[in-house]
Structure 1
Amino acid sequence: MKLINENDITLCWNGLQTDEVQQGWQGIPLRKVGTISLYAARKYPENMESFAVGFKYFSAKQIASLPRGAGFKVEEAQLNSEERNWIALSRQKSASLELFTMMATDIFNTLCKQEQASEEAAFTLFISRIKAWQQFMKQGQSKLGKEAELGLVGELTFIRQLIDTGLCAGSLMSTWVGPDHAAQDFHLGIGAVEVKSTLAPVGFAAKIHSLEQLDDSMSGPLFMCGIRFSQSDKGQTLPDIVSDIRSQLEHIENQELDTFDTLLIKSGYHPTGAENYTTKFLPEEFMYWAVNDEFPRLTRAKVPFGVLGTTYTIDVGNIPTSMVLDEVIKALYGN
């Protein structure tokens, strides 16, 4: 099925624009994917850009509550052109039209690729994608900051390291939980791994974001992976690394590729902004530590009663690293 581009949606929105006094929803059909209908729309009298997805068997009643967006509103809609259960997303006046158009195009095209999927699977993916865009929109911009970019490069580089050891790329998508605001970046086997990255040629200052992040009593065996990068023409940009992992996933079920794309959006990255990322990162050193009582850390059990939370920085540059990745995997998976 031919995918939708941003210009397609913009032309439809412009075609629905009118100065006449109207009430209710107006829409233009864009695609039909099995039992699902995709419409560009406007709701009057607000007259804001919207898009609507119509399901035959599923509706908003299947979820506890509609996601609340940062910059967009999600609601049930009434489009009289088809007998469908419609869920619409409308741009808020204060929100970026560019970001909203990007979101509409991404969600539509994600659903366009679900021709062979059940409506239930497509509905679940639709809601998951909306929630991912909620996190993306909270940034207020389409480009990650330098620190966030480096952090994402580190996590993706760790995924590639795991793939290189023989772990299945598809199975790793469910282990990458950092984008969902888990305490650690990866839940692997019976434990977890927190990934930290630096561009500093000497030393290694790692920022810790909570009392739970380095608490192995909550995660099982816990390890930290430290990756030292340099900026080099021999390295790869963030979009390059994303492309490499996507190529590993394209030979597996589409569901894993959809999961990867959703996690990237939650992390603040979307491929339409790839040209914004030009820094080339070259991994120079990988370090692994077991996080235990000998490791410098604050946990809930180690701070005075009444301390609810904190962020702090530790210097791991001088801590001996006595482990390699194979040993970490063996400890987590027992093989």
Structure 2
Amino acid sequence: MMNSNSITDIWKNLASAEESGLTKRRIPVESPLYVYGTYRYPDNLYGIAFSYDSSLTIPIDQFKSLKELGILQMPDASFEHRNLLLIQLHHTDCLGVFATLCSDLTSAVTRESSEKSALRIILNQLEKWRTLFDRGLATGLSPAEQQGLYGELHLLFRMIRRNSFDMTETVGYWVGCDKAMRDFQGEDWAIEVKTTATNGSDRLTINGERQLDDALLDRLFLYHLSVEVSRKNGQTLNRVIEDLRKALAPDTIALHRFNIGLTHAGYFDDHAPMYQDRCYKIRREQAYRIAGNFPRIKERDLRNGVSNVTYTISTSACEEYAVTDTELFKSTVNHERD
């Protein structure tokens, strides 16, 4: 599997040659596509390219407005009847983050068996990158995004401890990193995580009429984590990630899947200094079973033409639906094992 240093080394070598125009060097990975690290001089544009049969069509118009990235198609000068899909970074201030994304993308296409399926994976990955590039790679996560990610990872760490025999499976339940409707999803259960700071910590914002709708699930839970945010007292986002990586280290597949999830969530190691002074101290955590008359809006409750509803619930109205940690894990991560 390629790491980010592989393409970084290729970029350095290409840049040092100062050869005018676009130059490329093959990345030594097994894939149905030829994969290249690229550099354009004197424009100082670093990139990655994928060579594919010219009979295949790639719709890239929806990605042409991405901030900080240029995406082009052109003939592959090295081979007849082949084209290049070229992805170039406009600014070098987030080159390390871009290298991580390129590593992610290269790893994804090595698992495919045909050029067509590999190209589909590239387009899917670019769609996941859209949010990252629209906001700008150099800015990092907002305070609200950091807090939300911390809550998800806190619960993931607890799940790992409950289900350490199959960490790859457990990490796979974490789908919030891919902007799924809920943060954790099993075969017939789901958990939505809400992390609030001290002020107004009993009010939870629900995003959409389907987030607390259990119509297609056997079991749906709401997990509320109330934290106090400070500069010195508590655990940082970086620390919970470090703890998870240590816990997952014996399972390389689980660790790789977790690191890919962090990328999709918008967390990059290059940005870690931005998060080192924001600490979280847990005040309270409570899970609720979503069922019956739990205070919520469901899809069938809406009138025709109404959708994308955002609303607020108070945890004080949810107490009769509270469940213990034992009940939560027995009905989710441990239920899958049984």
Instruction: Give the TM-score category using the shorter length.
Output: 0.7 to 0.9
- Give the alignment's TM-score, normalised by structure 2: 0.78
Q: Which residue of 2 aligns with 1:164?
A: 161
Secondary structure, in 3 states, of the residue corresponding to 1:219?
Answer: coil
Q: Are residues 64 and 79 of structure 1, via their aligned partners in 2, closer, same or farther at CA, if it must alter by over 3 Å? A: closer
- Cα offset for 1:217? 0.7
Task: Find the aligned partners of 2:309 and 2:224 in 1 and give their Cα distance.
Answer: 21
Q: Are residues 11 and 274 of structure 1, via their aligned partners in 2, closer, same or farther at CA, if it must alter by over 3 Å? A: farther
Report percent identity of matched pairs.
Answer: 20
Q: Which residue of 1 aligns with 2:87?
A: 89
Superposed counterparts of 1:262-277, under 5 Å: 262-277=260-275
Query: 2:324 aligned with 1:329, yes or no?
Result: no
Query: 2:229 aligned with 1:231, yes or no?
Result: yes
Q: Are residues 98 and 7 of structure 1, via their aligned partners in 2, closer, same or farther at CA, if it must alter by over 3 Å? A: farther
Supply the RMSD in Å over aligned alpha carbons: 3.6
Q: Which residue of 1 aligns with 2:99?
A: 105
Secondary structure, in 3 states, of the residue corresponding to 1:138?
Answer: helix
Task: Find the aligned partners of 2:308 and 2:129 in 1 and give their Cα distance.
Answer: 27
Superposed counterparts of 1:7-22, under 5 Å: 9=11, 12-13=14-15, 16=18, 18=20
Q: Which residue of 2 aligns with 1:21?
A: none
Secondary structure, in 3 states, of the residue corresponding to 2:147?
Answer: helix
Secondary structure, in 3 states, of the residue corresponding to 1:184?
Answer: coil
Q: Which residue of 2 aligns with 1:22?
A: none
CA contact (8 A) 1:156 1:241 kept: yes
Task: Find the aligned partners of 2:204 and 2:63 in 1 and give their Cα distance.
Answer: 33
Count of residue correspondences: 319
Task: Find the aligned partners of 1:110 and 1:283 in 2 and give their Cα distance.
Answer: 33
Deviations along 1:106-128, whole A, 9 cap, x unmatched?
A: 144447879xx666499587666
Q: Are residues 50 and 78 of structure 1, via their aligned partners in 2, closer, same or farther at CA, if it must alter by over 3 Å? A: farther
Q: Are residues 37 and 184 of structure 1, via their aligned partners in 2, closer, same or farther at CA, if it must alter by over 3 Å? A: closer
The farther-off stretch of 318-327 and 144-153 is: 318-327
Superposed counterparts of 1:1-335, under 5 Å: 3-4=5-6, 9=11, 12-13=14-15, 16=18, 18=20, 26-29=22-25, 31-34=27-30, 37-42=35-40, 47=43, 49-54=45-50, 65-66=59-60, 68=63, 70-71=66-67, 72-81=69-78, 86-91=84-89, 96-99=91-94, 101-110=95-104, 120=113, 123=118, 129-141=125-137, 142-167=139-164, 168-200=166-198, 203-231=201-229, 233=232, 235-254=234-253, 256-278=254-276, 279-317=278-316, 319-320=318-319, 322-332=322-332, 333=335, 335=338
CA contact (8 A) 2:19 2:41 kept: no
CA contact (8 A) 1:177 1:187 kept: yes
Unaligned runs of 5+ in 1: 19-24
- Cα offset for 1:144? 0.9
